[in-house]
Amino acid sequence: MPLRETAPKLPPEQYERNFADIAPRMTRGQAVVEAARCLYCFDAPCTLACPTRIDVPAFIKKILTGNLRGSARVILEANILGESCGRVCPTEALCEGACVMHEKGEQAIEIGRLQRYAVDYVLDNNIHLFHAGASNGKRVACIGSGPASLACAAELAKWGYAVAIFDRNEIPGGLNTYGIAAYKTRAADSLREVELVRQLGVEIRQKTEVGRGISFAEIEKQFDAIFIGVGLGETWTLGLPGEDLYGVYGAMEFIEQTKVKAFQDVEVGRRVACIGAGNTAIDVVTAARRLGAEMVYLIYRRSEQEMPAFKYEYELAKNDGVVFLWQTQPVRVLGREAAVTGLECVRTKLGAPDARGRRSPVPVPDSEFTVEVDMVVSAVGQGPVTDFLRVVQGIELRKDGTVVINDRHQTGNPKYFAAGDCANGGKEVVDAVAEGMAAARGLDAWLGSPRDRLKPQMNTDKQRQI
């Protein structure tokens, strides 16, 4: 079944240009000049702003001295996915947003790119910085192979645990492999980081769904504890008439196409509408434009001010020539011969604020209009994938499907721990890493570790604070 009209095919090299690395690797010269700009703050605000507390001034100083291996070690000890975080973190809201250079009236230090520069050095040269700890005889299973699981598994392996990751997908990495805009990171980049974890002796079993391929009873028998890091699932549907027409996609499913297929093989309409205005919606509209779609609409019920996407992301979409239809609500998907032909919308006005303080959109009577498109992508958030846990006694799920955990990331069933999107409802990769590491500490304590790892490693600077 074809789309009604697909985007014209581009020359192969044009696709590569369109999806070229948005923050390309720094040269040695660029990195040194940028690193030299860093003031080497004491008790640095960038570090305090990082969920994984990477000692940013320390790793930047090491770039300056040419100690790239040491620089990468500082990063990866705090965050094993430091390379991808350097690419995908919303740095302007985290480390770079806290950079003192803003107060100085200067450009913030490009922390993300420097971070990637340092880690790329050890990845390129296949330098093994970490080794599995001496075996403590204990075994842990991690369900899912996304950022939370990888971070948890790496910590545990370093401490001597035998760790096996169970992943239902074809290739590991979870969101980092399948769900990040291709101009930020490619699947192959994510897999290099997975290798770092594998090098610690972590076993990764692909295409193995816990509860189906292997039973919970079996897993509980084989492992002393189980970590759940399954992330989120499919994109919510829009609940509109006509949604079953051919050409209606979920955002994550569309992004995934750009990550696992050659760009020229990704199906995209000549005209595309994306519903939603979060960061994932930006990934969708920019990808559609870069794949050759001629008209791409981003449709949002509220106004520009309420847009949840980060400013940096919004700028990307603007630069890509995306058309923004603010205060517009889709009413039905229109089609002919089972394929999408358009989207009927209605104008909204903003009413009273909702529980989160955002003003609710109210449809304006008789303001219906039609946007002619060949493809509609829903980017209104992802649903949970935690249903499979309902058979496990003691694990409690919230109404939205998130797993209930205590401050040590332990679920109602003491043998199970959870972190990342499946527990927090959907945050950044760096949050999943921080939580995955915290869960490893909680799990380690519960399994009676003689070492007290519960306190996160404090920056020595912090300890001197009055």
Partner 1 sequence: MADLRVKFCGLESPNPFWLASGPPANTAGQVMRAFDAGWGGAVWKTIGEPIVNTTSRYGAIDLNGVKVMGFNNIELISDRPVEDNLREIYEVKKRYPKHLVVASLMVESKRESWHEMVRRAEDAGSDALELNFGCPHGMSERGMGSAVGQVPEYTEMITAWVKEAARTPVIVKLTPNVTDIARIAAAAEKGGADAVSLINTINSLMGLDLDTFAPRPVVRGKSSHGGYCGPAVKPIALHLVSSVAKKVRIPISGIGGVGYWNDAAEHIALGAATVQVCTAVMHYGFRIVEDMVDGLSQYMDDHGFRSIEDFRGRALPNVLDWGDLDLNYKIIAEINSDLCIGCQLCYVACEDGAHQCIAPHSAAGNGKRNVNGKGVHVPRIIEEECVGCNLCALVCPVENCITMKEVETGLPPMSWNDRMRQLAAGHGRALPPTPGEH
- The number of angstroms, rounded, from the C-alpha of 416 to the middle of its chain's C-alpha atoms is 23
Q: Which is closer to partner 1, CB of 97 or CB of 412?
A: 97
Q: Does 134 bind partner 1 (CB under 8 A)?
A: no
Residue with tokens 């003491």: 414
Per CB under 8 A, which of residues 24..63 are in contact with partner 1? 29, 32-33, 35-36, 39-45, 49
Segment 346-354 long-range contacts (CB within 8 Å, at least 24 positions apart): 348/301, 348/302, 350/302, 350/303, 350/306
Shortest spacing between CB 324 and partner 1, in angstroms: 24
Shortest spacing between CB 52 and partner 1, in angstroms: 17
What track of x and - describes contact with partner 1 for positions 90 through 119 (by CB under 8 A)? --xx---xx-xxxxx---------------
Cα 310 from Cα 280, distance rounded (Å): 11
Give the residue from 112, 129, 148, 118 showing the smallest Cα distance to 28: 118
Shortest spacing between CB 466 and partner 1, in angstroms: 6
Q: Is 102 exposed, middle or buried (0-12, 13-18, 19+ CB in 10 A)?
A: middle
Per CB under 8 A, which of residues 380..439 are in contact with partner 1? none
Q: Which is closer to partner 1, CB of 22 or CB of 39?
A: 39
Cα 5 from Cα 341, distance rounded (Å): 9
Q: Which is closer to partner 1, CB of 35 or CB of 373?
A: 35
Q: Which is closer to partner 1, CB of 393 or CB of 460?
A: 460
- 14, 21, 23, 64: which one binds partner 1 (CB under 8 A): 64
Shortest spacing between CB 3 and partner 1, in angstroms: 42
Query: Is residue 371 helix, strand or coil?
Result: strand
- The number of angstroms, rounded, from the C-alpha of 141 to the middle of its chain's C-alpha atoms is 22
Shortest spacing between CB 51 and partner 1, in angstroms: 14
Give the residue from 399, 431, 395 showing the smallest Cα distance to 412: 395
Shortest spacing between CB 63 and partner 1, in angstroms: 11
Q: Which is closer to partner 1, CB of 39 or CB of 404?
A: 39
Q: Which is closer to partner 1, CB of 109 or CB of 284?
A: 109
Shortest spacing between CB 183 and partner 1, in angstroms: 24
Number of residues that bind partner 1 (CB under 8 A): 26
Distance, first Cα to last Cα, the chain: 67
Q: Which is closer to partner 1, CB of 13 or CB of 103?
A: 103
Cα 258 from Cα 316, distance rounded (Å): 17
Contact 208, 121 (CB under 8 A): no
Shortest spacing between CB 67 and partner 1, in angstroms: 12
In DSSP terms, 203 is beta-bridged to: 164
Residues near partner 1, by CB under 8 A: 29, 32-33, 35-36, 39-45, 49, 64, 92-93, 97-98, 100-104, 464-466
